[in-house]
Amino acid sequence: MDKPSIIQITEEDLSLLINDIHLTHGYDFSDYSRASFRRRIERLITIDQLSSFAELRYRVRTDPEYFAHVVEEISVTVTEMLRDPAFYKIVRNHIIPVLATYPFIKVWHAGCATGEEVYSMAILLKEAGLLHKSLLYATDMNPAALAKARKGIFPLSQMQQYSRNYMLAGGTQDFSSYYTANYHFASFDSRLNEKIIFAQHNLVTDFSFNSFQLIFCRNVLIYFNKDLQNRVLKLFDDSLEFNGFLALGTKENIRFSSIAPNYKQIIGREKIWRKIK
């Protein structure tokens, strides 16, 4: 039995679309990973049941509301609280004690999507008694994801998994004490996000805006090509204080970038580097 094949998209189509978006809306996707970008566009055409690639181009050029939806769909917002518990265990046991020595702690979550990881960090800082002297900047290019992050309301169905992650990451409290269950949602304690600043920031086009002791950027660089990865890593390097930490996703690496010689990977298999030069 043959299944209907989806609309065939050529490399040229993708280039035209990227050009349209850049000219009309200022978002630059030209140095995104072509392989991932293609998948996002194929998915968009399927879920929106578009009849042709031309229809997509037309709507992107002429309908700002539709374009907002396109940005939302292109950016991958799949995330979870305390994703990779082993990673957060190292943050808890090895990085937070270093952060504790600073009079004022500044952390940047670059590409925070719907914010699950920034709330995770706020919980760890709170448990270390450091949240009062911390500021967490959570940025993303996707305004709809940021709006969700700001609310701190996540599906209740995820809490069992998050609670398990929390314990695996060395948590000893009752995870459910951090949220109030309300129908199908878990609403996180507003004291957690008092110290979080949510802001729109595009890693492709925007500059460094502060200096930090810790930058998280997990599973964001995978969507970029190598040139853009290198540019963004330089942006992080410019934004990171000497002795600061850079934390990436489990399959991301700085080894081929120009900043690599200035960084040393800390213990374990986790992708955390310290700025040593």
Partner 1 sequence: MIIIGGSAGSLQVVFYLLANCPPSFDIPIVIVLHRDPHGLSRLAELLATKTTLSVKEIEDKEPIEKGCVYVCPPDYHTLFEDRNSFSLDYSEKINFSRPSIDVTFRSGADIFGKELLCILLSGANADGADGLHYVRQQSGITVVHTPEEAEVSYMPEQALLHGRADQVLRKDGIMQFILQFA
Pick between residue 208 and residue 253 the one whose CB is nearest to partner 1: 253
Alpha helices in the chain (DSSP H): 11-25, 34-47, 53-62, 64-74, 85-90, 96-99, 116-127, 143-151, 159-168, 190-193, 226-239
How many residues touch partner 1 under the rule CB under 8 A: the total is 27
Binding track over 53-82 against partner 1, x by CB under 8 A: -----------------------x-x----
CA distance 276 to 244: 8
Q: Does 35 bind partner 1 (CB under 8 A)?
A: yes
Tell me the window of 56-64, 120-128, 204-212, 217-225 that interacts with partner 1 (CB under 8 A): 217-225
Q: Is 139 exposed, middle or buried (0-12, 13-18, 19+ CB in 10 A)?
A: buried
Q: How far is the CB of 25 from partner 1 (least distance, A)?
A: 22
Q: How far is the CB of 49 from partner 1 (least distance, A)?
A: 18
| Cβ atoms of 249 and 218 closer than 8 Å | yes
Q: Does 252 bind partner 1 (CB under 8 A)?
A: yes
Considering only 120, 134, 219, 239, the residue that binds partner 1 (CB under 8 A) is 219
Tell me the window of 125-133, 174-182, 235-243, 250-258 that interacts with partner 1 (CB under 8 A): 250-258
Q: Does 101 bind partner 1 (CB under 8 A)?
A: no
DSSP state of 249: -
99 bridge partner residues: none
Considering only 223, 245, 263, 273, the residue that binds partner 1 (CB under 8 A) is 223
CA distance 51 to 260: 46
Give phi and psi for 65, each to the nearest 5.
Answer: -65, -40
Q: Give residues in contact with partner 1 (CB under 8 A).
A: 1-3, 5, 33-36, 38-40, 43, 76, 78, 219, 221-223, 225-226, 229, 249-253, 256
